[in-house]
Structure 1
Amino acid sequence: MSKVVFITGASSGIGKSIGEFLHHKGYRVYGTSRNPQNVTGSLFPLVALDVRNTDTIKAAVAQVIAEAGAIDVLVNNAGVGITGPIEEIPAEEIKNNFEVNLFGPIEVMKAVLPQMRTQKSGLIINVTSIAGYMGLPYRGVYSASKGALELITEALRMEVKGFGINITSVAPGDFATNIAAGRYHAPLVKGSAYEVPYGNTLSMMNEHVDAGSDPTQMAEAVYAIMHKLKPNVHYRVGVFMQKFSIVLKKLLPDKVYEKMLMNHYKL
């Protein structure tokens, strides 16, 4: 029997690439979308799920288990970007980002864990971000939500290991997806103290995404993780300097690393 893979946020971007790659490898893939009826040409079934709505999470998981009889792998991929000066981002947008990037993935894990315990096996892969390893200027809320999911991964991994369940995270760098179009941008406020530095940083961030790597690399990484007998706690996928920036943060004094980031963003 083919293993059953459940991927949140699989109608576009990294989630879609992972789903299509695993579908071609012979896995039984189920993806999720907030509005699957609006998606055409998907190679695998899409079920309705909004990570901000626990009822839709429970219903989607129940549907997949009823149809497939198992959930062997969860790829917790659904997420949303956010940019802006922390001082100027509305509180409701900050809360929404944490709902999507942290609280939602936690609820999805809580929904699949009983089934995995029954199976005495399972793998959960949380898609985080290299940005979650450092506080980036004008991306602080995104860094915080993804960094929190990294720590949740570490803790929950130890809690469920005794049930035969493995949990890991994979942190992508910049990939050529539609995330920039879907993220919340705090508006550039004319006359704001942040108008010029935020505007320059926003342009740089968009250029990085547009010139990002092929998301198939993430699909290949997930496929490789699925074949590990004992997956690592964390994985990172991206160009060398993005991954090396995490190493530098561990090695350099805080102020030196901060200066390096400020120089990079021309602040």
Structure 2
Amino acid sequence: MSIILITGAATGIGRVTAERLAADGHTVYASMRDLDGRNREHAEEARAHARREHVELRVVELDVTSQDSADAAVATVLREAGQLDVVVHNAGHLYVGYVEAFTAEDIAHLLDVNALGVQRVNRAALPHMRERRSGTLLYIGSTIIVSTPPFLGPYVASKAAFDALAVVT
């Protein structure tokens, strides 16, 4: 079975993926930011799920907007599990509205979370994977860049950057 790190696993696709992979026998590190604050309840729910279902679902602090946080999360996985086999890039953020309503800082934040966050986690994880000559990166993308709905311009731009990183990594 694999050792898997999932970014953005507090809720939604990340949470469901973490629970499913753990149920299938993998050791899953469900990462989320701010474990003592906004995601405290989500972290407790994930830990309770692991106890109740007798699965290897572990919670690790990871804020993809911080290289130090990405480095620390990967170091925790390596210290506890001895290796990292799979990284699932799932963390993401969404803004909705007229494109002219967004400041450059708003768009920079979306790019920071949705694209640069991938690079930070890859910088932390890939040296270990390359040394082992084994590892998988999975990118949870979106079809939104193919058929763009209204009011999502900055989000679409950030997901296009995300997709480009997936192609070149």
Place the TM-score, normalised by the shorter chain, in its bin: 0.7 to 0.9
The one-letter code sitting in structure 1 at the alignment partner of 2:29 is Y
Tell me, in whole angstroms, the C-alpha distance in 2 between the residues paired with 1:74 and 1:137.
31
Structure 1 unmatched runs, 5+:
157-267
CA displacement, residues 87-141 of structure 1 (integer Å, 9 cap, x when unaligned): 1112221111110000011111121100101111111001111112344321011
Match of 2:110 in 1: 97
How far residue 85 of structure 1 moved from its aligned partner, in angstroms, is 1.0
Alignment-derived partner of residue 77 in structure 1? 90
Asked whether the 8 Å contact 1:132–1:145 carries over to 2, the reply is no
Give the equivalent residue in structure 2 for 1:41: 45
Check the 8 A contact 1:6/1:30 in 2, yes or no. Answer: yes
Write the distance in 1 (CA, Å) between the matches of 2:4 and 2:15. Answer: 13
Of all paired residues, the percent bearing the same amino acid is 36
Of 67, 87, 90, the residue aligned with 1:54 is 67
* 3-state SS of 1:36 partner: coil
CA RMSD after TM alignment: 1.2
Query: Is structure 2 residue 8 aligned with structure 1 residue 9?
Result: yes
Equivalent positions of 1:156-195 (< 5 A) are 156=169
Q: Secondary structure at the match of 1:32?
A: strand
Instruction: After the TM superposition, list the runs of 4 or more consecutive aligned residues in structure 1 that deviate by more than 3 angstroms.
Output: none
Equivalent residue in structure 2 for 1:115, among 128, 149, 154: 128
The alignment partner of 2:122 has SS state of: helix
Mapping of residues 118-157 of structure 1, within 5 Å: 118-156=131-169
Deviation sequence 1:130-175 (CA, Å, 0-9, x none): 112344321011111111111121112xxxxxxxxxxxxxxxxxxx
Please give the alpha-carbon distance, in whole angstroms, between the structure 1 residues aligned to 2:137 and 2:167.
12
Q: Contact 1:11–1:32 (CA<8 Å) still a contact in 2?
A: yes
TM-score (norm 1): 0.56
Paired residues of 1:128 and 1:147 also in contact (CA < 8 A): no
Number of equivalences: 155
Instruction: Provide Cα deviations, 1:212-264, integer angstroms capped at 9, x if missing partner.
Output: xxxxxxxxxxxxxxxxxxxxxxxxxxxxxxxxxxxxxxxxxxxxxxxxxxxxx
The answer to whether the 8 A contact 1:9-1:79 is kept is yes
Give the TM-score normalised by structure 2.
0.87
Is the counterpart of residue 106 in structure 1 residue 119 in structure 2?
yes
Higher RCO, Cα 8 Å, sep 6+ = 2
Is contact 2:66-2:120 (8 Å) kept? no
Q: Write the distance in 1 (CA, Å) between the matches of 2:145 and 2:25.
A: 32
Structure 2 stretches lacking a partner, 5+ long = 51-56
Separation in structure 1 between the aligned mates of residue 101 and residue 10 of structure 2, nearest angstrom? 31
* 1:86 aligned to which of 96, 99, 105: 99
Between structure 1 and structure 2, the one with the greater Rg is 1
State whether residues 5 and 84 of structure 2, in contact with CA within 8 Å, keep that contact through their aligned partners in structure 1: yes
Query: Residue 21 in 1 paired to residue 20 in 2?
Result: yes
